[in-house]
Structure 1
């Protein structure tokens, strides 16, 4: 199994478990910069050198040896499940991807046919009923996660706790899990705890939001997308995320965490 989704600086100053839709582009670029003093030219997910990634075969033995010996500070970043699933919908389902095509080829036509979802398109200014379509997408997301039908769940909407858990289950241990909503505070704590070859001034780092501009803008407040049934589905899919990472399930309008993350609890509950 190893450590899928794990990135490490070439200097081995820090190890990061990627959680999709949780500031991973910005974090990856900070890691790259902290070694090289420059940002990767392009989407950091496309880099094949300058940063160790589990997906790169040559990086695997280095990452595995580091993580199992806990040689470096290890961290990850999480996000409110309500805003994360909305972001996945607008970026991956409604948006046009970097290659100029729809995400995963036949996925959107499948959703239109089987779930009656509308996604709009750039020609009509992405004009469609966002609330109705999102709620239908949420039903699809639940079906993929619960029954792996009509396809396996996608990494962008599978539960954060699932991503976080593989690192623990295979022998890793986190030193820090912080919230996207308090990104500067959390990332600064990581930088304060490690030594980087290049100094990083967090206030000077731009935000690398690679999904921005691909699709429609969210037209309503977060809470408007979630009725009673939608919240029931959210709890069915993401109850562990709400509980472990201390987000407010009862109020979709509150994107901020409501308590501190207990690292020992996370390791105990996700390590089995």
Structure 2
């Protein structure tokens, strides 16, 4: 299986396991900058040079040797499950992607037809009942994760613990798991623990939110999208994420973690 979703600087200063919808564009650009003194011109996910990525065959050997030998500081980043799945809905389901088309071709028409979801018209910008459509989207998410129907779960809404675990299964070990909600503090810890060819001034780094503007703006507070049934579904899908990464399941309005992540617990439970 190897190390899917793993990126590493060419200098091998640091290793990062990507978790979609968790500041991955910004982290990738910081890694790129720390080697080259400039940002990648475009979406870092499109970069084919300047950064080792597991998806590129030539990078697999260096990544495997580094991770299995724990030669470099390794980290990942997580996010509150409530806001992450909401972000996935507005970006991937309601939004027009950077190629000018809907995400995954016929996925959105299928959701409109099978689940009665609205997405804001052809351009994703028209008004619609966001709460009703999001709750129907959650049923679809549950179906993909529990029953793998009508498709396998997508990386953008599959559980974070699933992404994080693949790194551990094949011999990787995390030195840090940071929260998107406390990004500067967490990233400062990472940069403070490594030596980079180029100095990185975290306060001067822009946020590379590549999904910004793809879809409609969220019209309501986070908690308005989640009634009792929605919260039940969320817990069914993301129970392990809440527990391991210390987020507050009881209060969707509280996006901040409520405890410290125990790395030993994460490795023990996700390495099973």
Shorter-chain TM-score category? over 0.9
Q: Does the residue aligned with 1:216 lie in a helix, a strand or coil?
A: coil
Contact 1:80 1:247 in 2 (8 A): yes
| Cα pair 2:32 2:38 within 8 Å, conserved | yes
Report the Cα distance in structure 1 between the residues aligned to 2:235 and 2:205, rounded to whole angstroms: 35
1:105-254 paired onto structure 2 within 5 Å: 105-121=105-121, 125-254=125-254
Cα 1:189/1:123, change in 2 over 3 Å: closer
Q: RMSD in angstroms over aligned alpha carbons?
A: 0.8
- SS of 2:220's equivalent in the other structure is coil
- In structure 2, the CA distance between the partners of 1:213 and 1:122, relative to structure 1 (3 Å rule), is farther
Partner of 1:269: 269
Indicate the residue corresponding to 1:49 in structure 2: 49
Aligned length: 272
The residue aligned with 2:82 is 82
Q: Which runs of 5+ in 1 are unaligned?
A: none
Change over 3 Å in CA distance of 1:124–1:163 after alignment to 2 = closer
Using the TM superposition, give the Cα deviation of residue 121 of structure 1 relative to its aligned residue in structure 2, in angstroms. 2.8
Distance across 1 between alignment mates of 2:189 and 2:122: 41
Offset of residue 124 of structure 1: 7.7
**CA–CA separation in structure 1 for the residues paired with 2:46 and 2:124:** 31
**CA shift digits 1:217-236 (9 cap, x unpaired):** 00000000000000000000
Give the TM-score, by structure 2 length.
Answer: 0.99
Q: Point out 4+ residue stretches in structure 1 off by more than 6 angstroms.
A: none
Q: Please give the per-residue CA displacement for 1:74-102, whole angstroms capped at 9, x wherever unaligned.
A: 00000000000000000000000000000
Contact 2:10 2:50 in 1 (8 A): yes
For residue 123 of structure 1, report the CA deviation from its aligned partner. 5.5
